[in-house]
Structure 1
Amino acid sequence: MSTWRRLLSVLMVGGLSAGVFLAVPPAAVAAPSSGSAVAQLGSNFRFGVASSGFQTEGHNRDSNWTRYGARGQVVEPVGNAVDFFHRYPEDIAHARALGVSVYRVSVEWSRVEPVPGRDDPAAWAFYDRVIGGIVAAGMTPMITLNHWVHPGWEVDRGGWNRSGMADDLIGFATKVVDRYAWARPSWVTFNEPTEYVRRELTFGGLRPQNVNRMVDGIVRAHRTLYAHIHAVQPEAQVTSNLAYFPIPGVQAFLEGLFPRRMAGTLDVIGVDQYYSVSLLDVSAAASATGDFARSSQAPEAIYYVLRHVAREFPGVPVYVVENGLATDGAGRRPDGYRRADHLRDTVYWIQRAVADGVDVVGYNYWSLTDNYEWGDYTAHFGLYTVDVAGDPSLTRRPTPAVAAYRQIIADRGVPAGYRPTRAPVLCSFVDVPDSCAHPAVVR
């Protein structure tokens, strides 16, 4: 079966059936150690916040995603998002007040090169101010070179349907690296490349017969950029974060598309984890259909993810590039889970993974503020909530998770006596059969 047909088939919601679970063959797994309940995270562990340009900046230039919005292919267009373009000093100050050491942002290709071969100095000056502001606030930038957005003129050229797209992107990204290597950032070449491919397929930016071309182009661009980054910034940490898809059989296939082909050019394994699926809550995996606020949330899922990644990519440190909880605008969910509790529970399980020998080096919360969630503003992920539809001032209002995260960072984790607010579920699909053979246990 061709790559594109396999990609489409493994991402079907029907793959969440118990039949798929039962079809997964046993694998060799290592039992967790019987070490301490939790290990406080050392001074070298990096706490951060994450964001992306298109989802927060507003005032966007012509791109594949502005066109999807203009054509009505999504619920609502991005508009001016939360206007990070003008309010970045305030958001940087909020991040600094949390005590984080990492602030993840992206540089929008469509903003700095609105027409082919002609850069906009004012756009570069904006990113100069953002990167400079992060550094001046005592934080390290984590710069994403592509977060699913490319210029409209690239769409007109054929986008990822043409092999030259990879060369164009390399040219843009090389300029970003050269301009900001002084800030000693860490780098994400491509955000969740499997999702980039899937969404381009979904919205018609990529023809099915050209999936292999896009996959190959992303891998080639990543490897080229990795070499260039290390040439100008030898100590840099470079990754391309994978979206963890907790469905048996699917995750292994997706890992084969990108991270395994990027072997030797990932200084850390970057992973994004948002939801869970188990034998008892298959119907609750609503995030598979885009309803993040109703998605199943078992906090120990991050523990299984970290164990899985450490097993599949031995010897490479792991960085949680994105993790968070979707709620409505008032911070509510049908399951009653609250952001502050979810954050503390998640950090507990990260500490447990560290205690059990997993080399986890960092954690970014998605996201600092609410933002445009690739089609609408329904799902709220922010530590600071923003009412885009009802508040023209776009006031950043702290959720209780702000104080929770500040305390976690100050204490380097949750205290030794902390117990998660939710007990582990039975046989999580996040990593079978390991989760069944060696289930997470609260100590």
Structure 2
Amino acid sequence: MLVIALAAVLLLPVGVSSPARAAVPPLGPDFDFGVAQSGFQSEGYNRDSNWLRYGKQGKVEDPVGNAVDFYHRHAEDIDRAASLGVGIYRTSVEWSRVEPTRGHDDPAGWAFYDRVIRKVVDAGMRPMITLNHWVHPGWAVDLGGWNRPGMADDMVAFASRVVDRYAWADPLWITFNEPTEYVRRELQYGGVSPQNLGRMVDGIVAAHRAVYRHIHRVQPGAEVSSNFAYYPIAGLQPWLESIFPQRMRDTLDFVGVDHYYSFSVTDASVAYGALGEFWKSSQAPESIYYVLRHVAGQFPGKPIRVIENGLATDPAGRRPDGYRRSDHLRDTVYWLQRAKQDGIPVKSYNYWSLTDNYEWGDFDSRFGLFTVDVRRDPSLTRRPTDGVAAYREITRAGGVPADYRPTRMPVPCSLVDVPDSCADPAVVR
């Protein structure tokens, strides 16, 4: 099938504008733009956890340290987000901060998140709260982590307290961030043993379902999901979906999508990600269109929200291909508009991330709209990238202009979604 599709694509005009097609209208007032971050990656001053230990044990290149010190600078960072004109602010509540020892909550930890959520609401944005972004407390590690059956129950108990405390803010909820990647990393760093992978997967699914039910009891009309990473690897995605999304589908009020990198028959530079040099991975912004089209087909009738998407640069803010954050933002939003024009129910888009942060092992890859040089700038000054002005223009207009054309034409036969991307390629209108 793939060979046939590859042959067929050679006969198709790739990325050619059709004068018979209509312009691509902006996303409209019912579409929400946002920014995203996670607590552990940005806050600093973290409590004992699996990831704090991975840093201390030398299992990753750099420990997190105090990251970009969102803990003390949250008010100014939230104001920065509001200045972008976004309506959604995604962050997480770190389990280890509010429950540093089992069964004993820390009032100071809760007070911090009280301030964060209140500030987000007062700044005119809707919180999107992630309940688990790959981090769990050190005491849970000592008890066996996801190797033990009781881990799911402890997670549900913690998550329920978060829900009870912040339902007033009418947040959007993410139960588990990229659960497949959570499992993979726990396996990689020794947090879960190979023979207990099934137990961790089952535990996450059970916890998600229990938390989903609790949220809907406490917050009528809530929107709850998990966010799933869509990888640019042909043939892998259906298997990955069977692990979590398909098992959760009746407890997903929307489908949360994370997507960053492309992969095609002519470009396999995504392999640089294995070396941690994500800025060397090429970008084909139309791949988000293929992902959304695939998700809409797999989950008919479900709204879709892009929970994470962004562009990596090196520590100096550069990329070997010269692609700028501002152009990547505009190009991506163009393809979101194309998706909506084609009837795909995409409801929102979060840019990852508001500021540079700790990218799970080092500070090399820079994703922030505001850049922060953790290694060389003790002041942790936030400096706007060219993406800031571009995002403000986008949120003000509800998208890119109807006559906008991407700076990069679609690549032939994207392996993000085969054979569909080969047989029915994305075309710039």
Kept in 2: contact 1:331–1:338 (CA 8 A): no
Letter aligned with residue 365 of structure 1: Y
Per-residue deviation, 1:334: 1.1
**Which residue of 2 is the match for residue 139 of structure 1?**
125
**Which residue of 1 is the match for residue 15 of structure 2?**
none
Kept in 2: contact 1:239–1:270 (CA 8 A): yes
Give the match's secondary structure for 1:393. coil
Give the match's secondary structure for 2:288. helix
Kept in 2: contact 1:274–1:325 (CA 8 A): yes
**Which residue of 2 is the match for residue 150 of structure 1?**
136
Distance 2:132 2:149 in 1: 17
* 1:402-441 matched pairs, under 5 angstroms: 402-441=388-427
**Which residue of 1 is the match for residue 256 of structure 2?**
270
Q: Percent identity?
A: 70
**Which residue of 2 is the match for residue 36 of structure 1?**
22
**Which residue of 2 is the match for residue 293 of structure 1?**
279
Per-residue deviation, 1:246: 1.4
Q: 1:256 aligns with which of 231, 242, 252?
A: 242
Q: 1:340 aligns with which of 322, 326, 351?
A: 326
Distance 1:273 1:290 in 2: 17
Structure 2: which 5+ runs fail to align? Answer: 7-17
* 1:184-199 matched pairs, under 5 angstroms: 184-199=170-185
Per-residue deviation, 1:354: 0.5
Per-residue deviation, 1:401: 0.5
Aligned residues: 418
Per-residue deviation, 1:23: 10
**Which residue of 1 is the match for residue 49 of structure 2?**
63
Residue 200 in 1 paired to residue 197 in 2? no
The 3 A distance-change label for structure 1 pair 48 and 357 is: same
Moved more, 203-212 or 327-336: 327-336
Per-residue deviation, 1:368: 0.3
Kept in 2: contact 1:277–1:285 (CA 8 A): no
Distance 2:187 2:288 in 1: 28
Distance 2:5 2:65 in 1: 44
How big is each residue's C-alpha offset from its partner over 1:44-84, in whole Å with a ceiling of 9 and x where there is no partner? 11100000000000000000000000000000000000000
Give the match's secondary structure for 1:144. strand
Distance 1:411 1:373 in 2: 31
The 3 A distance-change label for structure 1 pair 415 and 24 is: closer
How big is each residue's C-alpha offset from its partner over 1:295-352, in whole Å with a ceiling of 9 and x where there is no partner? 1210101010110100111110110000000002332111111111000000000000
Distance 1:85 1:126 in 2: 8
Distance 1:338 1:417 in 2: 20
Moved more, 284-293 or 382-391: 284-293
Letter aligned with residue 251 of structure 1: Q
**Which residue of 1 is the match for residue 208 of structure 2?**
222
Distance 2:381 2:4 in 1: 50
Kept in 2: contact 1:24–1:249 (CA 8 A): no
Distance 1:430 1:289 in 2: 20
**Which residue of 2 is the match for residue 161 of structure 1?**
147
Moved more, 34-43 or 373-382: 34-43
- How does the TM-score come out when normalised to structure 1? 0.92
* 1:309-388 matched pairs, under 5 angstroms: 309-388=295-374
Kept in 2: contact 1:328–1:378 (CA 8 A): yes
Letter aligned with residue 295 of structure 2: V
Per-residue deviation, 1:98: 0.4
**Which residue of 2 is the match for residue 85 of structure 1?**
71
How big is each residue's C-alpha offset from its partner over 1:343-378, in whole Å with a ceiling of 9 and x where there is no partner? 000000000010111000000000000000000000
Kept in 2: contact 1:21–1:248 (CA 8 A): no
Q: 1:101 aligns with which of 87, 90, 96?
A: 87
Letter aligned with residue 324 of structure 2: R
Distance 1:105 1:283 in 2: 30
**Which residue of 1 is the match for residue 37 of structure 2?**
51
Give the match's secondary structure for 1:264. helix
Per-residue deviation, 1:283: 4.2
Give the match's secondary structure for 1:431. coil
Per-residue deviation, 1:272: 0.2
Distance 2:221 2:193 in 1: 39
Per-residue deviation, 1:167: 0.3
Kept in 2: contact 1:108–1:149 (CA 8 A): yes
The 3 A distance-change label for structure 1 pair 284 and 131 is: closer
Structure 1: which 5+ runs fail to align? Answer: 1-19, 26-32
Give the match's secondary structure for 1:426. coil
Give the match's secondary structure for 1:174. helix
Give the match's secondary structure for 1:423. coil
Residue 210 in 1 paired to residue 196 in 2? yes
Per-residue deviation, 1:234: 1.3
**Which residue of 1 is the match for residue 159 of structure 2?**
173
Letter aligned with residue 358 of structure 2: Y
Per-residue deviation, 1:264: 1.1
Per-residue deviation, 1:290: 3.3
The 3 A distance-change label for structure 1 pair 359 and 36 is: farther
**Which residue of 2 is the match for residue 119 of structure 1?**
105
Per-residue deviation, 1:177: 0.2
Per-residue deviation, 1:171: 0.4
Distance 1:385 1:315 in 2: 38
Distance 1:36 1:101 in 2: 29
Letter aligned with residue 72 of structure 1: G
**Which residue of 2 is the match for residue 30 of structure 1?**
none
Distance 1:66 1:92 in 2: 25
Kept in 1: contact 2:260–2:311 (CA 8 A): yes
Aligned CA RMSD, in angstroms, stands at: 1.7
Residue 397 in 1 paired to residue 390 in 2? no
